[in-house]
């Protein structure tokens, strides 16, 4: 049944233009947009510390987080105050996303938001991808690095995002069956991707 409430979650390969698409989509639909920085501000609004988003970042693999936790635990076990495990931080982060989705229509980029909102019937999950060569060009230009450096960044970021997503969800990062819609940004262009998602949202949800 159509309503007036919709949440679009955007998963993306590094360098595919996910943030730009999310921002344009939110602007065209006249709804809120949240990425890491804005989610951190929302966390403070709900009474959670901003550090929960700095300490549980999808750019760092869950396994690195576990190793860091073990190191902290065994080196300062007798002198720990207000320590929170990565799982606790993820649960708090999830609560922020759930509250935002309940409060108003919005676009949320990354952070396992599609999995966190898997039971929300007003949520459309999207995954954006693009050929590696195109992503290398985009990252090299955006960050002012060589194509080799851009390629290495992409490999690292995609690996970390996949590990984070696969660790905290029961789905597989980047796999078509994990999302409602998967789009090739290079094929459609950023504006084309925005139009496709907007059209689907207006037809199905609004």
Quick one: pLDDT at residue 17? 95
What letter would DSSP give residue 58?
T
Are 86 and 94 in contact, with CB atoms under 8 Å apart?
no
The torsion region of residue 11 among left (phi > 0), alpha (psi -120 to 50) and beta comes to beta
pLDDT band at 54; cut points 50, 70, 90: low
Planar angle of CA 127, 128, 132, nearest 5 degrees:
135
E strands, 15-131, are 32-34, 106-109, 123-129
Q: Is the pLDDT confidence value at 159 over 70? A: yes
1.10.8.60, 2.102.10.10, 3.40.50.300, 3.40.50.720: which CATH number matches 7-204? Answer: 3.40.50.300
- For the chain, the structural domain boundaries read 7-204
- Please tell me the least confidently modeled range out of 86-95, 141-150, 184-193: 86-95
* Mean pLDDT of all residues in 17-45: 88
Quick one: pLDDT at residue 95? 87
Are 140 and 153 in contact, with CB atoms under 8 Å apart?
no
Which residues have a Cβ under 8 Å from the Cβ of 138 and sit 6 or more positions away? 15, 16, 17, 130
Q: Which of 150, 193, 198, 206 is nearest to 19 (CA)?
A: 193
* Mean pLDDT of all residues in 54-65: 50
Q: Write the pLDDT tens digit of every residue in 168-180.
A: 999 999 999 999 9
Strand-by-strand arrangement of the 181-184 sheet: 32-34, 106-109, 7-12, 123-129, 181-184
* Mean pLDDT of all residues in 16-35: 95
Q: How far apart are CA 7 and CA 29, in angstroms?
A: 11
* Mean pLDDT of all residues in 105-116: 95
Quick one: pLDDT at residue 92? 80
Query: Model-level pTM greater than 0.85?
Result: no
Q: Write the pLDDT tens digit of every residue in 77-109.
A: 434 434 456 777 788 888 889 999 999 999 999
């Amino acid at each position: 049944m159509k309503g007036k409430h919709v949440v679009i979650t955007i998963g993306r390969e590094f360098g595919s233009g996910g943030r730009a698409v999310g921002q344009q989509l939110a602007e065209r639909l006249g709804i809120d947009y949240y990425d890491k920085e804005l989610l951190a501000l929302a966390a403070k609004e709900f009474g959670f510390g901003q550090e929960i988003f700095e300490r549980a970042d999808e750019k760092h693999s869950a396994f690195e987080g576990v190793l860091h936790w073990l190191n902290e635990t065994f080196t300062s076990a007798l002198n720990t105050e207000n320590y929170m495990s990565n799982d606790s931080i993820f649960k708090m982060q999830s609560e922020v996303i759930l509250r935002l989705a309940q409060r108003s229509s919005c676009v949320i980029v990354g952070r396992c938001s599609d999995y966190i909102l898997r039971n929300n019937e007003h949520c459309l999950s999207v995954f954006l991808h693009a050929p590696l060569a195109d992503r290398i060009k985009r990252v090299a230009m955006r960050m002012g690095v060589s194509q080799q450096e851009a390629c290495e960044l992409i490999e690292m970021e995609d690996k970390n995002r996949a590990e984070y997503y696969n660790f905290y969800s029961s789905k597989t990062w980047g796999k078509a069956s994990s999302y409602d819609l998967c789009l090739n940004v290079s094929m459609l262009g950023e504006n084309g991707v925005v139009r496709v998602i907007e059209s689907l949202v207006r037809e199905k949800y609004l």
